[in-house]
Amino acid sequence: MVSPDSQRSPLHDRHLALGAKLADFGGWQMPIEFAAGGVLKEHAAVREAVGLFDVSHLGKATVRGLGAAAFVNACLSNDLARIAPGQAQYTLCCAESGGVVDDLIAYLVGGDEVFLVPNAANTAAVVALLADAAPAGIEVVGQHHDYGVLAVQGPRSSEVLRRVGLPAAQDYMAYADAQWDGRFVRVCRTGYTGEHGYELIPHAADAGALWDALLEAVRALGGLPAGLGARDTLRTEMGYPLHGQDLSLDISPVQARSGWAVGWQKPEFWGRDALLAERAAGPARLLRGIEALERGIPRAHMSVLSADGDAVGEVTSGTFSPTRRVGIGLALLDSAAGVQDGDELALDVRGRRSAVRVVRPPFVESHVR
């Protein structure tokens, strides 16, 4: 169902023209799949050739002013000092409890400017938290509707960018500010699919023309436009967390095994004390991968059972893997249960046991770099 109150991408009319199936996502009407593809074909296009996603529902905000980068670094989890201007970084906005308000990408423009891309539903919260904490001279500007975000993902993604005249040679998690047809586009070598890819951030008014040019190149190289359905199956195959399911105010980065995105040596960031204490004590539960040994498909909120039938955790994300042709998922498992990779457990599928094996993601080989 699509709510009449949900917001629309600057590419909304183009999605309708392509016969997209729309659904509410983070308060936005976004394409789940397109008439020419469907989730399975769109997923395969990204793994084998290239896919084009509209992810303009993602938030955008700028923090600027003298010392803006140092301010952001004192708030968000990862250490901006690890990267240089022209690079981007995955990071977390945590509550003082250690829970995760949002996970986001920070683009380091310079010492006095950081551009942020939060999740759609959490953008207002992240902007408000930063604005409330900002000292005099530092401005936090919400720009959710000022820009579009397009993702070109797949082994032929660099060919797509070269065909339309955009830079494609940057290293992973590095970005370039470019001109396309006389229009500004920020191009970052990143993505959410596990494939070589890019995220492009044009001004909203320019997003349609850029989409048209990219789609022409994508089709010429055997690719497809892709919706958020394929984006979800692709990220699940990589074991990437989705905020609201695998990360949340109730699921800390320690529990979600996202501690690599925490600057543990930094003297200050939101939630630091709680996270240090949890890491030292050991988390009560850990996020692990599971793969089906039978026909059942893991789905969020299913109970995970031990060999004795005791509940030892809960599925947070699950799907059918189009690449592996099996059910896969992520599950929070109780540390006290002593579960190890390779152990066999079971899902409670409406009262029926369905066997799964505990594995360490990713479920397919990563090609992001």
Q: Write the pLDDT tens digit of every residue in 355-364.
A: 999 999 999 9
Let me know: does 191 contact 197? Beta carbons within 8 Å.
Answer: yes
User: Which residues make up the CATH 2.40.30.110 domain(s) of the chain?
Assistant: 284-359
Burial 158-182 (b: 16+ CB within 10 A, else e): bbbbebbebbbebeebbbbebebee
Q: Write the pLDDT tens digit of every residue in 23-34.
A: 999 999 999 999
Please say whether the dihedral angle defined by the alpha carbons of residues 308, 314, 317 and 318, taken in this order, is positive or negative: positive
Alpha helix (H) residue ranges in 185-271: 207-220, 228-238
Let me know: does 236 contact 319? Beta carbons within 8 Å.
Answer: yes
CA angle, corner 48, sides to 45 and 53, nearest 5? 35
Let me know: does 347 contact 354? Beta carbons within 8 Å.
Answer: yes
What's the full length of the chain, in residues? 369
Which residue is listed with tokens 């005249």? 165
pLDDT of residue 1: 63
Alpha helix (H) residue ranges in the chain: 12-17, 39-48, 68-73, 123-133, 157-164, 207-220, 228-238, 272-281
The verdict on pTM exceeding 0.75 is: yes
Q: Write the pLDDT tens digit of every residue in 244-301.
A: 999 999 999 999 999 999 999 999 999 999 999 999 999 999 999 999 999 989 999 9
Q: Write the pLDDT tens digit of every residue in 144-159.
A: 999 999 999 999 999 9
Q: Please identify, in words, the CATH class of the domain defined by 61-142.
A: alpha beta
- The CATH architecture assigned to 284-359 reads Beta Barrel (2.40)
Let me know: does 199 contact 115? Beta carbons within 8 Å.
Answer: no
Which residue is listed with tokens 């505990």? 358
Average pLDDT, whole number, for the chain?
97
According to CATH, what is the number of the domain 7-54+146-238?
3.30.1360.120
Which residue is listed with tokens 């040994």? 293
The segments of the chain whose pLDDT lies below 70 read: 1
User: Which residues make up the CATH 3.30.1360.120 domain(s) of the chain?
Assistant: 7-54+146-238
Q: In this structure, what DSSP letter does residue 251 have?
A: B
Rounded Cα gap, residues 203 and 220, in angstroms: 25
Q: Give CA separation, 129 vs 102, 261, 266, 270, 274, in Å.
A: 11, 19, 20, 10, 18
pLDDT of residue 270: 98
Q: Edge-to-edge strands of the sheet including 87-94?
A: 87-94, 100-110, 113-117, 61-64, 139-142
